[in-house]
A and B are shown apart, each in its own frame.
Chain A
Amino acid sequence: MEERRYRSASGAPIALRCRQHSASCRELAVRCPRLQLRSLSAVTSAVWLAAYGLFVLSENSMVLSAAIFITLIGLIIYLHFVKIDQESLLVIGSLGIQVTSSYASGKESTTFIEMSQVKDVVINEAIYMQKVIYYLCILLQDPGDPQAVSEVVPLFQSSMPRLDCLIEVYKSCQEILEHRKTVPQSS
């Protein structure tokens, strides 16, 4: 179980942790950068200064209390619904792939894709907001038509690792996915 440091697409430091539970089970977790104190203070000061400016103009002290409420509730909503702390990928060779996102407030949301639906895990490059980025994605296949790709599930959308980190994750996943072709599936 080692942890290696990489950078995200925007330059923020992220860490990749790779755990091998057994020969056909691996967990890869990418930890996103934590909420910075300076950005939190900057946003809070901006909101409170704007509220104070409004208070000076309107002489209504409710503006100040409203600003405090907005800041607190906004921070809670941000931590619970927006700020992702860690994204992890659990690949079990014969069973499937589980994708977990843990938010800063402790909430975890998981998605499980069973192995018969997984066609491959690839590094794709696409245009994203005036940039071209590499991202890891799971290609899903229709059980009736194994040649065609029915859906694309992008992974690590919040941490956005760069290519060097993606190559490590890709190699790990491919080692497990190779074995499932040699072992016959029992339906």
Chain B
Amino acid sequence: MPRADPAGMAQTLALDWLGDAPKDGRPKWDNKFQYFLSCLGFAVGLGNVWRFPYLCQTHGGGAFLLPYAVALVFEGIPLFLIELAVGQRLQRGSLGVWTAISPYLSGVGLGCLAVSFLVSLYYNTVLSWVLWYLLNSFQQPLPWSSCPLGLNRTGLEEECQGSSAVSYFWYRQTLNISADIRDSGSVQWRLLVCLAACWAVVYMCVIRGIETTGKAIYFTALFPYLVLTAFLVRGLTLPGAVHGLTYLFTPNMQTLQNPRVWLDAATQIFFSLSLAFGGHIAFASYNPPRNNCKRDAVAIALVNSLTSLYASITVFSVLGFKATNDHGQCLDRNILSLINEFDLPEQSISRDGYLAALAHLNTTQPERVARLSLKSCRLEDFLDKSAAGPGLAFIIFTEAVVHMPGAPAWAVLFFGMLFTLGLSSMFGNMEAVVAPLLDMGVVPRWVPKEALTGLACLVCFLLATCFTLQSGNYWLEIFDSFAASLSLIVLAFLEVVGVVYVYGMKRFCDDVKWMTGSRPGLYWRVCWTLVSPLLLLTVLVTYIAFLAQKPPSYRAWNPQYEWFPARQEKRYPGWVLAACALLSLLPTLCVLGAALAQLLAQRTRRWRPRDADTR
């Protein structure tokens, strides 16, 4: 299709960070540090704290860092630079950028918009849970430290006794979860109120775009690092922290032979940097065009990965403390049973002497010992207990915090950190939703920006209320698994291919040279043309293969389950599977739909002039 070339760019384009009035009223960053922090805050999110440590632990400890580094160097950084460079050069949000590169690729921008919208919905719901826990942390003793009394006050609540106080607080008092996804239940007003507060906070911060988020980001991006450091210092001084660190970081090279490990590393680096959301494109578009985006890309990606590592050291030391604590309590319980049964003097069996005493009693009176049905206490079993996602934060970590001296303060710090981590990611998500709408002029000029962001937040809040139902957690897991993963890989693949092959590698390299002053080297060019697209394609195919291997199922919290407190594995009903498929395919459909619409528009335009000629 013809592309008109004006004789040159506007003189007003010659700006650097010291320039003055922005071209056509486009907002701009106050300083470079604000932009850096915004991109960093968007990239560093909840996943750095609760997904990376879990992956490290389950995939061979220190050995996982190898596939992670490979993925970072060959997939993460090249893709990241493409996003920043393209946004900075074309000075538009994701929708405008892809329309400018090629109208057939405008669907990529629409897909990014759709993905950002879907992710905003459930991401802020997770933040509302964090807020609920934060609000409940301002009391001593913490509400999840002990079981509440049952209905007739003679004993503890049954469901709580069967599982644990923290699980009960999470599943019953927070979520009030139903036993099946088909059973929607009622809206939980506590969660609804927290959700409203979260959306109000988000609105307050993004009300005028980067003008307001730029001020808020100083706090929300830096506070987590302070808290992580505090937790690291506290964690390393707790007993048993070293066990956690050594056990969980000891590399197990055998696991590298499992393709699942490489797949997880590739997807983790991908989601960790928040690629293909359109948020980085939007942030970079507010830069002056002459800015060293190459340095920014490498710096932000490295800091993001180092943050993941830093967070996992903190998390592991606290988990090591918890495992040691649980192990000690297990031993104490067994010792008490032995002492009570054999009427031995108090404190006659120490934790170290437990095994010897047990062996002695087993040889002398094995039937009585067998009747006690003692559980075996091995430290490795407790260290192996791991969880990712909300399970780590709301069950495991909360239990660990209860045993720390000064528990409410640590709980407040921990949930405050999670809240600010998620909030800075939400800024990027909302920017990715609002900036393209503003760029494409969907709203008339007289509508103020505050109204548009308000409308976006209101719509998101109303749609997200379905996550406050009793089955909301199951739906959130569906969104988490299906809404983002597949689509982002597809969109990223189209991004790389679009920039390298449609826009043209030579033109892109010239642009980068103009912006940064140096041409991209061999590493960049090889990655962009060959390695990254191939890697993405492999990841996509492997991902679909793993998905197709077994039908998707979910684990329900059912107090009536015979193996309670283990979670009951259930299959998704048909209509839920259809919803999952729709969610994963929606952004891809946007891409195809937009391309098709453009094709039709071109055809009709070609037909109309021909009609005019023949008349």
Co-assembled chains A and B = no
